[in-house]
Amino acid sequence: EAGVTQFPSHSVIEKGQTVTLRCDPISGHDNLYWYRRVMGKEIKFLLHFVKESKQDESGMPNNRFLAERTGGTYSTLKVQPAELEDSGVYFCASSQDSRSDLGTEAFFGQGTRLTVV
Amino acid sequence: GENVGLHLPTLSVQEGDNSIINCAYSNSASDYFIWYKQESGKGPQFIIDIRSNMDKRQGQRVTVLLNKTVKHLSLQIAATQPGDSAVYFCAETWIGNQFYFGTGTSLTVIP
């Protein structure tokens, strides 16, 4: 079974440009999460989808970030316009059930390294 | 070798020694915890998890200890190997919420 896949693996763009990151979760996982790790810092939550609905987007830094999950399958994260501080590694994760009483782990993709110059 | 909290983000151990990586979590309501390992160029990989109704759980060469009184989590790696070199993150969550991650500890195994 394929794991969580992310595309592209690396993107270098100029400040002011637009970038779209894509995440394909594990098939059948209703929960999809976006996280970001800025150099040397912790992995920070951005948002959480349950199927196609945004369950929690409290971590989205500002309105330059837009996440979608059409049909509850893959998800995209668009940054428009990109700023220098947006550089970092963007991780996507999926899980089967978000209720922690089931102890369901989140599986992570390999990440997209975004560099804004 | 042992790391305490987030003040020592790097840990170096000799191959064959035991490693202890510590994590102080933030929310007393957290009821599920995971340790992840992240190697260069890869996403975080699940190592071991523990629920709040437990204080210890063992896996293959790894043990997680949970002390809810002081909100402390530790990961013990027995007979550390070069392949264990990576950044280790603890993550906490509670029902219906996302995972919150610590800064991470970089483990270097010296052959």
The string of pLDDT tens digits covering residues B67-109 is 999 999 999 999 999 999 999 999 988 766 678 888 789 999 9
Question: What pLDDT sits at residue B102?
Answer: 81
**Backbone φ, ψ for residue B43 (5° rounding):** -80, 165
* pLDDT tens digits along A67-85: 999 888 999 999 999 999 9
Q: Is B61 on the interface with A (CB under 8 A)?
A: no
pLDDT band at A92 (very low <50, low <70, confident <90, very high): very high
Q: In whole angstroms, what is the distance from residue B31 CA to residue A101 CA?
A: 8
Q: In whole angstroms, what is the distance from residue B101 CA to residue A70 CA?
A: 27
Q: Is A96 on the interface with B (CB under 8 A)?
A: no
Are B42 and A33 in contact (CB < 8 Å)? no
* Strands (E) located in chain A: 5-7, 10-13, 19-24, 31-37, 43-50, 53-56, 65-68, 75-79, 88-95, 107-108, 112-116
Are B97 and A101 in contact (CB < 8 Å)? no
* pLDDT tens digits along A42-57: 788 899 999 999 988 9
- 3-class DSSP state of B16: coil
**Backbone φ, ψ for residue A45 (5° rounding):** -70, 140
- 3-class DSSP state of A72: helix
Are B99 and A106 in contact (CB < 8 Å)? yes
CA A113 to chain B, closest CA, distance in angstroms equals 9
Q: What is the DSSP letter of B106?
A: E
Q: Is A82 on the interface with B (CB under 8 A)?
A: no
Question: What pLDDT sits at residue B54?
Answer: 94
Q: Is A44 on the interface with B (CB under 8 A)?
A: yes
CA A67 to chain B, closest CA, distance in angstroms equals 16
Mean pLDDT (chain A, rounded)? 89
Q: In whole angstroms, what is the distance from residue B73 CA to residue B25 CA?
A: 7
Find, in chain B, the residue whose alpha carbon is nearest to that of A5: B43
Mutation for A interface: B47, B88, B97, B98, most A CBs within 10 A = B98
Peptide bond into A61 cis (omega under 30): no
Which residue type, as a one-letter code, is found at position A105? E
Q: In whole angstroms, what is the distance from residue A17 CA to residue A79 CA?
A: 8
Question: What pLDDT sits at residue A99?
Answer: 55
* pLDDT tens digits along B36-73: 998 888 889 989 999 999 999 999 999 999 999 999 99
CB-based contacts of A52-59 (< 8 A; 24+ apart in sequence): A55/A31, A55/A98, A55/B96, A56/B97, A56/B98, A59/B98
